[in-house]
Amino acid sequence: MNTHLGAVPLVGRGKVRDLYEVDGALLLVATDRISAFDFVLGTGIPGKGKLLTQISLFWFELLAGIVPNHLITADVSEYPAELKPYADQLEGRSMLVRKATMFPVECVARGYLAGSGWKEYCAFGTVCGIPLTEGLEDGSQLPETMFTPATKSQDGMHDLNISYTETEAIVGAEDAAELRRLTLAIYRKAADHAESVGLILADTKFEFGRTAQGIILADEVLTPDSSRFWEGAAWKPGGPQPSFDKQYVRDYLESIQWNKQAPAPSLPPEVVERTRQKYFEAYRRLTGHSIEF
């Protein structure tokens, strides 16, 4: 649930990842923590951090022709000497990455109507303020893929949907256009791959940064933590879809009528195991590989 790397400087702990500074680079370590409704839950999902890391590594390689990324290496044997004593903690769940100046927006691509987008559509007929045609259902494919950026609130917790005009005001018109282009290009490539293995990529979010060489893809990418993957053969608009993401955990938390206030509850063993299976199946389907943990 938490990493401990002795004197290696800890930059911070996110909901899922621990971040360290090492020799002018960053070490990103994916723990087995799981969050929902902006809270880290009291129970982890065994092996989740390794699955997330390996999925991200798969996508970084597949998408390299579209956009460069922040990865230096994920081979623990190539890490700086000061990390060698912690190899067991880091094996399979960490990446040494380049530093970048991160854009203060999350770049969201939506190909299907779901989640907060569905709720907004029900109330206003829009998604992130963009009007949509009438008659769409929960789970409907959108007429075209939407770029719907978001920004972080001051408390660092909630994602706040913003308009494209607001995005231009934050990052500038040129960068906003490039972030939109990259987001939609990555989504198309990823959605095509997902379709080839019988999955639907309903929506996802990316984070980009800038280095001296230009814009790069950073953080995690196209994992069940940041994306909705649905079972293609079972897709039927009109309600929730069979999924390979943490929607199963959200549904459980809704069923126990948690008030979404601290402390966050723990998960019963059967929910932990079912969630682990969903993450593992997403990894197996997307990458074509198995994994030991």
By residue range, what is the domain housing residue 88?
10-99
Name the pLDDT band for 155 (thresholds 50, 70, 90): low
Same domain as 189, residue 119:
yes
Q: What whole-number percentage of the chain has pLDDT above 70?
A: 97
Does the pLDDT at position 158 exceed 70?
no
Paired sense of beta strands 94-97 and 101-102, if any:
unpaired
Q: Which of 79, 99, 119 is the last residue of a domain?
A: 99
Tally the domains of the chain. 2
> Does residue 292 form part of some domain?
no
What distance, in Å, lies between the first and last C-alpha atoms of the chain?
15
Same domain as 114, residue 95:
no
Q: Which of 54, 80, 99 is the last residue of a domain?
A: 99
Long-range CB pairs of 270-276 (<8 Å, 24+ gap) are 272/43, 272/44, 272/45, 272/46, 274/248, 275/34, 275/45, 275/246, 275/248, 275/249, 276/45, 276/46, 276/47, 276/48
Same domain as 191, residue 158:
yes
Does the pLDDT at position 182 exceed 60?
yes
> Does residue 272 form part of some domain?
no
Q: Mean of the pLDDT values across residues 89-107?
A: 96
Same domain as 246, residue 107:
yes
Paired sense of beta strands 107-112 and 141-147, if any:
antiparallel
